[in-house]
Every structure is written in C-alpha cells, then in structure tokens.
Amino acid sequence: MAIEPRDQQCQTAGREWACSRPVDRRTATGTGPIRGRVHSVESMGALDGPGLRYVLFLQGCPLRCAFCHNRDTWSLWGGQDKDVDEVWNDLLRYQSYMQASGGGVTVSGGEPALQAAFVAELFRRCREAGIHTALDTSGYARIERADVREMLSYTDLVLMDIKAMDPGLHRSLTGVDPGRIRRFASFLADQRIPVWIRVVLIPGITTTEENLVALASYVRTLPNVERVELLPYTKLGDHKWAEQSDRSPLAGVREADQSDVERAAAILKAGGLHHVWIDS
Ligand code: SF4
C-alpha cells in the first residue's frame, strides 16, 4: 500500500465537526429561513442519481479521504452563505427538466449531513412539490440526531460511499473509524430507504480480493441496496489538493484501469451482488 502520511490538517479528521459550526443558522430572530454554506451548483448533473439533476454541493466535511476529488470543500468556513429560499428559488427554474428526465435534486458535498437541518428543509419542500431527492453522503453522520433523521425522512435515495471494509484501512484512507457509518447504514436498512453504494477502486488498496469479498458479504446484509457503483480512482481532483497547498496522499498510486474494474465487478458478482454498475 502507498498511502503517504497525513499532514496536520488531515489528522484532525472527524474533530472539526465537533467544534463551532458556521451552518444551519437561522436569522437573529430565530424565525427566518435556515441558512447553509454552499460550495457550488451543477444545474444538469447526470451522474448523481437517476435522470437529470440539480446537484447542490455543500461546504464542509469531517473526513479527510486520501482520494478526495473535492478537497476544496473540506473547510467549514468556505463557500457562500445562502438561505434555503435562495436555493429553492434557483432549483425551481430547472423543475421541468428534472421531471421530464425522471431526475430531481441531489445534495452532495463535502458532507451534506453536516448541514442536516438545511437539507431537511430543502428536501421537505421537494417532497411537497413532487421532486425526487437524493443524498450523496459518506454516511459519517450521528444517526441519533433529530435533524439527521428529519433529513432522511424526506430523502428518496441515498448515494453512500463505502471507502474500505477493514477498520484500520478505513482510518488510514479517511481519518475516521467506520463504526458511525455502519450505524448510519443499518438505520437506512431498517427504514428501507433505497441506497446506491459507491466504491472507489484504488489499485492495490481497495481492489484487493480481501476488501471486495468482505464488501460483498456486508452489502448482502443490507436489503435496501439497489445497486453498487464502481468508480475507478483517477487523479482528476489532484489539482484541487495543489490549490490548497496540499498533496494527495495517493500521489504515488496509479489510476484504476478497465481490468481493475472488470476484476472487481467479477469478485462482487461472485460474492452474490447482482446489481453492480460500472461508472465509465
Ligand atoms: S467524504 Fe467525500 S468530500 Fe469528504 S473527504 Fe471524503 S471524498 Fe472528500
């Protein structure tokens, strides 16, 4: 394995979230629309859920994934401060495209669960308007929290990463323990909320037979999983690390190729997973 040692910032993974959070604020009177920190918007996304989607990327992430393509979303203090009305009015401009294509709204990040009250209010409005909602999450969220459960009550589909099965490998890849993510996944299964699992194939790290066999065994225990998407590791996001005066810990690892993907798909199918999708 060739994951380089983390710098000081990476070693704070999971802790920044417990500090002051510049998100989910209401106005000074406590009665205004919920505010959130928005990184960016993709108005016609075709990769994050069914159909054409309005994809909202929120700012802030408690993880420090070595393969992160959105390194610029990590800080809780970046992005733009917006209230939920502003985002709602913007996405309504695309409602006809979403509905004609069988699409909807996806909230991604960063980690959207970090701003669960904001997402809950946005998704509540979508549910009322008949707009499909998808949450693209690491699953690193406290499922005991009322705002997280409220957010999920308005979520039609969860796109959830599984980074690695071995807890030690998970910690070295992401900076956090997988326990909280497993509890989040169990809650989704109990509630029968549909899930698409996403797996980043990193050559020699997550493509090992041991990891993939364990992944297949685990996913088979989750009756709500509709598909498993395989995402080949690429270096397309490396420039964002450089822009943050940082360096990807996977700088010495090659990109995944077609044979990595085909081999991983074969192992997962042999392990009993029949809905394996390959991201091309
Ligand atoms: S959870 Fe997503 S946004 Fe956060 S560090 Fe990992 S890959 Fe990046």
Alpha helices in 106-243 (DSSP H): 116-129, 146-153, 167-174, 179-190, 209-219, 238-243
Is 24 a residue whose pLDDT tops 70? Answer: no
**Nearest partner of 233 among 254, 264, 251, judged by Cα:** 254
In this predicted structure, what is the pLDDT of residue 66?
95
The hierarchical CATH code for the domain 36-196+235-252 is: 3.20.20.70
| C-alpha dist (Å) from residue 64 to 40, 212, 233, 274, 276 | 19, 22, 16, 31, 26
Decide whether any atom of ligand 1 lies within 6 Å of the 59 Cβ. no
State how far the Cα of 225 lies from the Cα of 198, in Å rounded to an integer: 11
Rg, the chain, Cα only: 18
| Count of all residues that appear for the chain in the document | 280
Is residue 8 very low, low, confident or very high in pLDDT (cuts 50, 70, 90)?
Answer: very low
The tens digit of pLDDT for each residue in 236-256 reads 888 888 888 788 899 899 999
State how far the Cα of 194 lies from the Cα of 23, in Å rounded to an integer: 27
Which residue type is seen at 99? Q
**Can you name the residues that pair with 45 across neighbouring β-strands?**
53
- Distance from the alpha carbon of residue 174 to the mean position of ligand 1, in angstroms: 8
Both tokens of 261, joined, read 């993907």
Is 224 a residue whose pLDDT tops 50? Answer: yes
> Which residue has its alpha carbon closest to ligand 1 atom 3?
110
Residues whose CB is less than 8 angstroms from the CB of residue 73 and which lie 6 or more positions away in sequence, other chains included? 39, 57, 58, 59, 60, 61, 79, 109, 110
Decide whether any atom of ligand 1 lies within 6 Å of the 111 Cβ. yes
Ligand 1 atom closest to 71 (CA): 8
Pairing of strands 104-108, 80-83: unpaired
In this predicted structure, what is the pLDDT of residue 244?
82
With a pLDDT cut of 70, the percent of the chain lying above it is 89
Pocket perturbation via mutation, ligand 1, pick of 3, 17, 73, 181 by most ligand atoms within 8 A of CB = 73
- Distance from the alpha carbon of residue 201 to the mean position of ligand 1, in angstroms: 15
- pTM > 0.75: yes
In this predicted structure, what is the pLDDT of residue 280?
62
State how far the Cα of 124 lies from the Cα of 127, in Å rounded to an integer: 5
Ligand 1 atom closest to 137 (CA): 1
- Distance from the alpha carbon of residue 269 to the mean position of ligand 1, in angstroms: 27
Both tokens of 125, joined, read 């409005």
State how far the Cα of 169 lies from the Cα of 31, in Å rounded to an integer: 45
Decide whether any atom of ligand 1 lies within 6 Å of the 64 Cβ. yes
Is 5 a residue whose pLDDT tops 70? Answer: no
The tens digit of pLDDT for each residue in 27-39 reads 444 567 899 999 9
Q: Which helix (H) or strand (E) holds 72?
A: none
3-state secondary structure of 203: coil
Pocket perturbation via mutation, ligand 1, pick of 7, 61, 161, 238 by most ligand atoms within 8 A of CB = 61
CA 214 to chain centre: 21
Which residue type is seen at 55? V
**Can you name the residues that pair with 83 across neighbouring β-strands?**
35
Ligand 1 atom closest to 61 (CA): 4
Ranges of each domain in the chain: 36-196+235-252
- Distance from the alpha carbon of residue 61 to the mean position of ligand 1, in angstroms: 6
Q: Which helix (H) or strand (E) holds 267?
A: helix 258-270
Both tokens of 59, joined, read 């700012």
In this predicted structure, what is the pLDDT of residue 6?
59
Both tokens of 90, joined, read 């913007």
Pocket perturbation via mutation, ligand 1, pick of 7, 12, 65 by most ligand atoms within 8 A of CB = 65
The tens digit of pLDDT for each residue in 47-67 reads 999 999 999 999 999 999 999
Ligand 1 atom closest to 174 (CA): 6
- Distance from the alpha carbon of residue 31 to the mean position of ligand 1, in angstroms: 32
With a pLDDT cut of 90, the percent of the chain lying above it is 79
- Distance from the alpha carbon of residue 2 to the mean position of ligand 1, in angstroms: 19
